[in-house]
Amino acid sequence: MSTLIIYFLGAFVRYWLITSEYQNVIAERIEISTPLNSWKRVTEGLHLLKLGIYPYAGDSLHESPLNLLAFNCLVKIFGEYLHIVFVVCDLLTSHLLYMSAKKYMEQIRKTQERNKANYAADAKDLLLTDKDFALSPIYVCVVYLFNLYTIFNCVGMTTTVFGNLFTALFLMALNYGSLFAALPLAIVISQSFYPILLLSPLFLHFVVTRKSYIKAGAAVVLCVMFWSIITYLCYRIYDRWDFVENTYGFILTVPDLRPNIGLFWYFFIEMFEHFRSLFIYSFQINVTILYLIPLSIRFRQDPMLLATSLLSLTAIFKSYPCLGDIGFVLSLYPCWKHLFNYIQQGFLVSCCFLVTTILGPTVWYLWIYSGSANANFYFGVTLAFATAQIFLITDILFSYTKREFSLIYGRIRKLNSKKAQLMLE
Amino acid sequence: MKALLTLLAISSTAAHCTSDSFTEELFIKPLYTEHIYSHFHFSTIWNTDLFSEKFRHTHLFPRALGEIIKRHNVQELHLSLTAGLWRYETWGYPVTSAAPGAELWAWFKSDTEDVNSNWKDLASSLSGLICASFNFIDSSNSVSPQYSFWPNGVINEQKVNSSFLRYSSLPREIVCTENLTPWKKLLPCESKKGLASLLNSGYIHNTRYHSLSIHFRPICRDPKCKFTSIEVQQSVDLVYDYLILGSRNWSVRKLFGQGILGPCPLAKSSTVYVDVSSNSTFPFQLSPEPHEFVYSSRGGYESKFAKYEITEQPLALAANYIDKPSVVINSPPALHANQYLTGYGQELGGIVTKLFNNHWNTLDVVVLQNIPWYVPIYLHTLKILSNGVVLEPLSLKYIPGKLRERPYYLEIVLTLPPRSTTLISINFEHVFLKWTEYPPDASHGFYISSSVISSLLPLARNYTGLPQDATMIVDSFNKSGYGYLVQVRTEAMVVTLPTPDFSMPYNVICLACTVVALAFGPLHNITTKRLVLKPDNKEGLVGKIKQKLDVIKSKLTGTKEKSEDSSSK
């Protein structure tokens, strides 16, 4: 009953905002709509399609042709009531996250039962109780439904809403150990490319929890196959390949330097021309393969944590990040509610989130509308925002390792009855 | 033998003399407001075929221009350099209309292989020829309009293929003496003799509006069009303000600083026309008396011109107004237009083109907009409202632009309702450029070129334009036709794009990389190191201070002991 009320409230807030006069203002915010996900650009693409103009001739549209076709169907079917689709999709996402969190908590419970014998005597307090197992999924759902970032993302009618839906579907299928996870993953890869990193948790899940290399390999092959099929279908729609330049090419080469909450825009506005390609390569390597292998090795036992940390790092470092990506990752963190005790910079990070969320639109207004600030102000805010997110994810990963240590070696930090300190070496 | 050679030489020069001709005309028209319009028209016709002519030797035709035309495979060329804005609403239509700044459009021959590279090279050559910044023209600011520009001259093909047409304008271009001097050098007499000697930069830049133009095209040699000739028309349009002149009474000396001293000896005819149609409402006295009056009935409107043939006798043409100035109600021409920007801030904006149809009947117009790539427009926001009612375009051509590569090309064909005001609005976003892409004065803003509104007017009220087959102004007298082509150019606009802090590149690179490093450090630690318990060596701040003090103390006491030792020795 209470969960129903939560869903209802979440839907109400979204519906109220999306039908209000603020919808336009929210949809135009650069923090919410980037060139990649703005509905305005999809509308433009559909309009060009209607006039018989090839939509990828210009550079306003960065959705794949298949997505454009799907949006065209959506617009045709729902017409004026299109905003309801966004609200429903967002609710669906929250429910899928709830389901995946529930399944994940079950896995944790199983692991805990299995390893209980190895745990230190004084680590009993650290074990998760039934209450924890029951609460975490609800928290995940509540955070997704009532997180300002996701609400605004939905109200702004960005295509990230659909991206989040398929990512949530992928996470659920992953936790249920279904090979079906490959399909939603292929869809999100075709939309925003960076989720290609999630192939690693997909592979590891089947290796670690299902102990099956064949299934793991099959999952990856399936995903790549689905992706190829999607790409081929995209090609078949117009029999032209130049959509690749407008989708993946656009994501990777970052030609549009419109500000967003990421690190790319000001960096590449101010870049010296002869270093541009060097830094584009290094920034893209930073977000794609730099952390992939180390994290995959270190957290191979917990593919869900691995997936979350990869999602979080891409949300911070990708070329066109938006609040919807960050809201999605934030709503996954309550799965590790039991780690929050170990978090060292919780206060700093929450203050940072609060301040940057308020300061961002303020300095944007000062810069763009009243002309009394300049680009550096907004850049500073995005830097602080990125730093806060980095602190949060690294803190959670640290906490995870600390808890692992405490479970096995106990909570008392003493070495030969002398005071000792826990250090990385 | 000698006699034969001389004879040959004479006959060859004679052949050349008959094969080309040059005419010069000056047309002066008092405008209904506080302005006077003067138009210089120089045209050269050369009876030679454009396709076979090599431009190795020319007589009256400007060879420098001919070489460029040959080299870049040009079929037709139109360029203008303009300062100021022609006020259609009060001034009527000019003889040749031009957009503020520099404007260039050219048709290439249909056998041209690479039109884009020819276009760029042509623009660069012209920039050298008349010292203007045409070299900034390339495919990133040029369009190929399908409806607005048609070949003015003869074409070989039955069908017109607009892929051989390029149009571009540079609204920021400033026109000055440095353009006038090379422009005058293209004339047979340069500025030494004839009407061109009136073009003194000190006077003609003291105007409300001045425009230099060159129009080159192939034309028919005879009515059957069995042979073709080539023609170049050079014109200067000037609008003087009575306020700047000091009085309404004008004279050639007041306008140009000197009287007319004689014709260009190479010119076939050298004439001055003064439009005296307004003489009935604003009587003025011309002195000396004109040689003859020419009456013209065109498109339902009667005009009267005073004609002066220029002879070796100096001519001091002047007009004296008889009445005191009176207020007159302006009757605007059938079609005129404005353009402006909407919105505030540097995030979102809109472009509005306002078309006025003052005619009692509907008017078909073509609106061409060449919107630069740094003003990305959204076609789905295009709204056409005529007197508040949505108007459906008859045809719409749109090629979306591409960042740093191609402008947004929009051409709309509309039927304007009678006596209506039509608003065409479209929204755009401000782009953020790389720091090196901003001009030195970044806050000055970026220009959006004027849109071109073309229409065939059924009546020739306030119309002075030349018909398509005309070479001289005199050809336009008594020349009624099916329609009167007008091309109204609107204002150019300036949009200020948001700027980065230009002094920051190093700081930005350092700061952004620091944030990346902030992630790299901890993640590297977590993934490559393991947790171990280490003996705690820290004793807190007080302990540390105590330790330090102990060290100092021991040192001090040690030295004391040492000094005691040395003293005892």
More confident residue, A341 or B16: A341
Residue A424 domain-assigned (yes or no): no
pLDDT reported for residue B62: 93
Q: Which residues of A touch B498 (CB under 8 A)?
A: 367-368, 375
Q: Give the chain B residue whose CA is nearest to the CA of A283.
A: B516
Q: B11 pLDDT band (50/70/90 cuts)?
A: very low
For residues A287 and A300, give the distance between their C-alpha atoms in angstroms, rounded to a whole number: 19
B238 and B203 within one domain? yes
Whether the pLDDT of residue A292 is over 60: the answer is yes
Whether the pLDDT of residue A294 is over 60: the answer is yes
B360 and B323 within one domain? no
The angle that helices A2-18 and A82-115 make with each other, rounded to 10 degrees, is 140
pLDDT reported for residue B559: 55
Distance from CA of A269 to the nearest CA of B (A): 4
Residue B488 domain-assigned (yes or no): no
pLDDT reported for residue B5: 43
Tokens of A36: 């990649």
On whether any CB of chain B is under 8 Å from the CB of A214, the answer is no
Residue B310: alpha-carbon gap to chain centroid? 33
Q: Is A252 exposed, middle or buried (0-12, 13-18, 19+ CB in 10 A)?
A: middle
For residues B92 and B122, give the distance between their C-alpha atoms in angstroms, rounded to a whole number: 33
pLDDT reported for residue B481: 80
**Domain interval for residue B378:** 335-451
B315 and B341 within one domain? no
Residue B308: alpha-carbon gap to chain centroid? 33
Distance from CA of B486 to the nearest CA of A (A): 29
Distance from CA of A204 to the nearest CA of B (A): 17
Q: What value does the mean pLDDT take over residues B236-251? A: 90
pLDDT reported for residue A412: 79
B322 and B342 within one domain? no
Residue given tokens 């891409």 in the structure block? A314
Does the distance separating the beta carbons of A273 and B515 come in below 8 Å?
A: no
Q: What is the pLDDT of residues B359-383, one digit of tens each?
A: 999 999 999 999 999 999 999 999 9
Residue A425 domain-assigned (yes or no): no
Distance from CA of A3 to the nearest CA of B (A): 37
> Which of B371, B375, B379, B411 to substitute to test the interface with A, most A CBs within 10 Å?
B379
For residues B319 and B284, give the distance between their C-alpha atoms in angstroms, rounded to a whole number: 6
Distance from CA of B508 to the nearest CA of A (A): 6
More confident residue, A126 or B457: B457
Residue B37 domain-assigned (yes or no): yes
Q: Which residues of A touch B500 (CB under 8 A)?
A: 266, 269-270, 374-375
Tokens of B553: 């103390």
Does the distance separating the beta carbons of A394 and B523 come in below 8 Å?
A: yes
Distance from CA of A45 to the nearest CA of B (A): 9
Q: Give the chain B residue whose CA is nearest to the CA of A395.
A: B522
Does the distance separating the beta carbons of A273 and B526 come in below 8 Å?
A: no
Does the distance separating the beta carbons of A266 and B500 come in below 8 Å?
A: yes
Q: What's the structural domain count of chain B?
A: 2
- Is the distance from CB of B56 to CB of B183 less than 8 angstroms? no
Does the distance separating the beta carbons of B519 and A390 come in below 8 Å?
A: yes
- Is the distance from CB of A43 to CB of A166 less than 8 angstroms? no
Distance from CA of A108 to the nearest CA of B (A): 21
On whether any CB of chain B is under 8 Å from the CB of A242, the answer is no
Report the candidate in B451, B442, B452 with the shortest Cα–Cα distance to residue B495.
Answer: B442
**Domain interval for residue A141:** 2-419
Residue B293 domain-assigned (yes or no): yes
For residues B293 and B285, give the distance between their C-alpha atoms in angstroms, rounded to a whole number: 14
B264 and B158 within one domain? yes
Residue given tokens 């929450």 in the structure block? A350
Residue B507 domain-assigned (yes or no): no
Q: Which residues of B touch A291 (CB under 8 A)?
A: 519, 523, 527
Residue A216 domain-assigned (yes or no): yes
Report the candidate in A177, A391, A219 with the shortest Cα–Cα distance to residue A304.
Answer: A177
On whether any CB of chain B is under 8 Å from the CB of A347, the answer is no
Within 8 A by CB and 6+ apart from A48, the residues are A54, A55, A57, A58, A61, B379, B398, B400
On whether any CB of chain B is under 8 Å from the CB of A51, the answer is yes
**B residues 338-367 lying closer than 8 A (beta carbon) to A:** 344-348
Does the distance separating the beta carbons of B432 and A265 come in below 8 Å?
A: yes
Q: B16 pLDDT band (50/70/90 cuts)?
A: very low
Q: Which residues of A touch B536 (CB under 8 A)?
A: 418-421
Q: What is the pLDDT of residues A47-59, one digit of tens each?
A: 999 999 999 998 8
Q: B329 pLDDT band (50/70/90 cuts)?
A: confident
pLDDT over 90, % of chain B: 65
B288 and B372 within one domain? no
For residues A284 and B184, give the distance between their C-alpha atoms in angstroms, rounded to a whole number: 57
Residue B444 domain-assigned (yes or no): yes
User: Which of A84-88, B200-204, B220-224 ranks highest by mean pLDDT?
Assistant: A84-88
Q: What is the pLDDT of residues B459-514, one digit of tens each?
A: 888 888 888 888 888 888 888 888 899 999 999 999 999 999 999 899 999 999 99
The DSSP annotation for A115-178 comes to HGGGS-GGGGGGSPPHHHHHHHHHHHHHHHHH-HHHHHHHHTT-THHHHHHHHHHHHHHHHTT-
On whether any CB of chain B is under 8 Å from the CB of A345, the answer is no
Distance from CA of B512 to the nearest CA of A (A): 7
Q: Which residues of A touch B436 (CB under 8 A)?
A: 273
For residues A347 and A343, give the distance between their C-alpha atoms in angstroms, rounded to a whole number: 9
Q: What is the pLDDT of residues A296-338, one digit of tens each?
A: 999 999 999 999 999 999 999 999 999 999 999 999 999 999 9
Does the distance separating the beta carbons of B516 and A317 come in below 8 Å?
A: yes
Closest partner residue to A270 (CB to CB) among B398, B504, B525 is B504
Backbone angles phi, psi at B558, to 5 degrees: -60, -45
Whether the pLDDT of residue A158 is over 60: the answer is yes
Residue given tokens 């000056």 in the structure block? B26
B184 and B44 within one domain? yes
- Is the distance from CB of A69 to CB of B411 less than 8 angstroms? no
Report the candidate in A54, A102, A139, A75 with the shortest Cα–Cα distance to residue A334.
Answer: A139
- Is the distance from CB of A384 to CB of A352 less than 8 angstroms? yes
pLDDT reported for residue A8: 94
The residue ranges of DSSP E strands in B330-390, in sequence order, are 335-342, 348-357, 363-371, 377-386, 389-390
For residues B314 and B72, give the distance between their C-alpha atoms in angstroms, rounded to a whole number: 42
Residue A420: alpha-carbon gap to chain centroid? 38
Q: What's the structural domain count of chain A?
A: 1
Q: Which residues of B touch A369 (CB under 8 A)?
A: 344-347
Report the candidate in B441, B442, B486 with the shortest Cα–Cα distance to residue B461.
Answer: B486
For residues B472 and B113, give the distance between their C-alpha atoms in angstroms, rounded to a whole number: 34
B249 and B391 within one domain? no
B157 and B304 within one domain? yes
For residues A6 and A1, give the distance between their C-alpha atoms in angstroms, rounded to a whole number: 9
**A residues 269-308 lying closer than 8 A (beta carbon) to B:** 269-273, 279, 283, 286, 290-291, 294-295, 297-298
Residue given tokens 């804005």 in the structure block? B85
Q: Produce one character per residue of B291-306: b if its CB has 16 or more CB atoms within 10 Å, e if not.
A: eeebebebeeeebebb
* Beta bridge partners of residue B256, listed in sequence order: none
B213 and B89 within one domain? yes
pLDDT reported for residue B156: 80
Tokens of A341: 């005790």
pLDDT reported for residue B7: 41
Does the distance separating the beta carbons of A44 and B533 come in below 8 Å?
A: no
Within 8 A by CB and 6+ apart from A403, the residues are A126, A338, A339, A342
pLDDT reported for residue B46: 94
- In this structure, which long-range contacts are made by residues A416-421, counting pairs with CB atoms below 8 Å and at least 24 apart in sequence? A416/B535, A418/B535, A418/B536, A419/B535, A419/B536, A420/B533, A420/B534, A420/B535, A420/B536, A421/B533, A421/B534, A421/B535, A421/B536, A421/B538
Does the distance separating the beta carbons of B408 and A273 come in below 8 Å?
A: no
Q: What is the pLDDT of residues A193-214, one digit of tens each?
A: 999 999 999 999 999 888 889 9
B263 and B116 within one domain? yes
**B residues 416-445 lying closer than 8 A (beta carbon) to A:** 429, 431-436
Q: Coil, helix or strand for A25?
A: helix
Whether the pLDDT of residue B566 is over 70: the answer is no
Q: What is the pLDDT of residues A359-417, one digit of tens each?
A: 999 999 999 999 899 999 999 999 999 999 999 999 999 999 999 998 888 887 777 77
Within 8 A by CB and 6+ apart from A33, the residues are A27, A39, A40, A156, A158, A322
Tokens of B375: 């003003």
Report the candidate in B283, B286, B328 with the shortest Cα–Cα distance to residue B306.
Answer: B286
Q: What value does the mean pLDDT take over residues B42-68? A: 92
On whether any CB of chain A is under 8 Å from the CB of B505, the answer is yes
B387 and B283 within one domain? no
Q: Give the chain A residue whose CA is nearest to the CA of B501.
A: A375
Whether the pLDDT of residue B568 is over 60: the answer is no
pLDDT reported for residue B9: 43
Report the candidate in B28, B45, B46 with the shortest Cα–Cα distance to residue B37.
Answer: B28
Does the distance separating the beta carbons of A423 and B531 come in below 8 Å?
A: yes
Residue B219 domain-assigned (yes or no): yes
More confident residue, B216 or B6: B216
For residues A210 and A208, give the distance between their C-alpha atoms in angstroms, rounded to a whole number: 6
- Is the distance from CB of A171 to CB of A307 less than 8 angstroms? yes
For residues B445 and B411, give the distance between their C-alpha atoms in angstroms, rounded to a whole number: 25
Q: What value does the mean pLDDT take over residues A219-229? A: 96
Whether the pLDDT of residue B563 is over 50: the answer is no
Q: Is the peptide bond before B288 cis (omega within 30 degrees of 0)?
A: yes
Q: What is the pLDDT of residues B122-158, one digit of tens each?
A: 999 999 999 999 999 999 999 999 999 999 998 887 7
Rg (CA), chain B: 34
Residue B113 domain-assigned (yes or no): yes
On whether any CB of chain A is under 8 Å from the CB of B393, the answer is no
Q: Coil, helix or strand for A54?
A: coil
Domain boundary among B420, B451, B482: B451
State which amino acid sits at residue B316. Answer: A
Distance from CA of A95 to the nearest CA of B (A): 31
The CATH number for B446's domain is: 2.60.40.740
Domain boundary among B288, B307, B327: B327
Closest partner residue to B531 (CB to CB) among A367, A397, A402 is A402
Q: Note the ipTM here.
A: 0.93
